[in-house]
């Protein structure tokens, strides 16, 4: 049965905000950890499960797939890399027809409480993980210069895979903004400051055209895939997303534990694929 739309709100960057930024480590004394002016904007989140067979990573920018995992819910980083990374790589190759998939990062999250060491809190702010500048820089960060130059000259993409770890999502689910309702001018580069470098993520300015959806009651054998960048301008490029609060969530609902992994996908011909293997 289709779930009725959820009346909630999302935290968007204000159109008149100064340049947003965030420190990825404790900031220097006297410096705020995060900057930018944000406003909560009411929105409806629809049930995407009735459309699960028609959604496309290359059109709406997000899909849901059933993908059981051999990874234990309490796996350490070594087990995640050894067991889960290859599972996600195989899923993405099958889903998008990529010639090579490089899974390079993961984050475990605990939503609704101060997370313990090794986990992060859920992000209750509309964002995309990369910008038009930082996405290709990620390729250059991960690959030798000559190889990066070769592969950046052909189609490539960045995709995230998100799944609950221990139970059906009880609170603070993840929502996706349909990429067909987003314009390039909705994205604003937000500096991400590390001790030795500066990266960028995208904050998002509200538009009345934005349409939000989620997959209710996601279970640990399901994975939501969503596009964070695509070099092919004819396809969905960046998919705004955010955790959100469902007002109908019981006060005593368990905390949400989840994991997301990030992957580079290359669509190179065979001769270029060999350089990335």
Domain ranges of the chain: 6-276
At residue 271, the pLDDT reads 43
Collect all residues with Cβ–Cβ distance below 8 Å to 131 and sequence separation of at least 6: 187, 189, 200, 201, 202
State in Å, rounded, how far the first CA of the chain is from the last one. 44
From the list 74, 108, 103, the residue with the least C-alpha distance to 86 is 103
From the list 245, 221, 225, the residue with the least C-alpha distance to 168 is 221
pLDDT in tens, 8-64: 999 999 999 999 999 988 999 999 999 999 999 999 999 999 999 999 999 999 999
- Give percent of the chain with pLDDT exceeding 90: 86
pLDDT in tens, 169-179: 999 999 999 99
In DSSP terms, which residues pair with 62 in a beta bridge? 226
For every residue of 138-151, DSSP letters joined together read: HHHHHS-HHHHHHH
At residue 1, the pLDDT reads 75
Give me the CATH code for the 6-276 domain, please: 2.60.120
> Looking at the predicted structure, is the pLDDT value of residue 127 above 50?
yes
Distance separating alpha carbons of residues 101 and 78, to the nearest angstrom:
19
From the list 165, 4, 139, the residue with the least C-alpha distance to 84 is 165
Average pLDDT for 133-154: 95
What separation in angstroms does the CA of 190 have from each of 97, 204, 238, 256? 31, 10, 15, 27
> Looking at the predicted structure, is the pLDDT value of residue 272 above 70?
no
pTM across the whole model = 0.94
Cβ neighbours, 10 Å, residue 139? 20
What are 30's two structure tokens?
Answer: 């006297």
Q: Return phi, psi of residue 219, to 5°.
A: -110, 165
Which residue's structure tokens are 């340049």?
A: 19
């Amino acid at each position: 049965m289709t779930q009725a739309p959820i009346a909630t709100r999302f935290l968007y960057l204000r159109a008149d905000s100064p340049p947003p930024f965030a420190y990825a480590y404790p900031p220097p004394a006297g410096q705020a950890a995060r900057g930018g002016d944000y406003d909560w904007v009411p929105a409806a989140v629809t049930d995407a499960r009735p459309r699960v067979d028609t959604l496309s990573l290359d059109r709406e920018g997000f899909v849901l797939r059933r993908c059981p995992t051999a990874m234990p819910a309490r796996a350490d980083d070594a087990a995640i890399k050894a067991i889960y990374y290859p599972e996600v790589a195989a899923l993405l190759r099958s889903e998008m027809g990529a010639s090579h998939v490089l899974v390079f990062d993961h984050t475990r999250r605990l939503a609704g409480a101060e997370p313990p060491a090794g986990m992060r809190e859920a992000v209750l702010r509309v964002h995309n993980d990369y910008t038009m500048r930082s996405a290709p820089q990620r390729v250059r960060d991960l690959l030798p210069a000559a190889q990066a130059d070769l592969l950046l000259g052909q189609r490539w993409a960045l995709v995230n895979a998100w799944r609950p770890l221990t139970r059906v999502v009880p609170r603070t689910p993840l929502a996706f903004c349909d990429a067909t309702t987003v314009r390039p001018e909705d994205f604003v580069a937000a500096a991400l400051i590390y001790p030795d470098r500066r990266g960028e993520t995208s904050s998002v300015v509200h538009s009345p055209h934005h349409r939000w959806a989620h997959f209710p009651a996601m279970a640990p054998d399901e994975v939501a895939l969503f596009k964070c960048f695509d070099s092919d301008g004819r396809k969905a490029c960046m998919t705004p997303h955010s955790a959100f609060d469902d007002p109908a969530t019981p006060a005593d609902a368990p905390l949400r534990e989840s994991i997301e992994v990030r992957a580079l996908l290359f669509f190179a011909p065979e001769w270029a694929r060999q350089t990335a293997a």
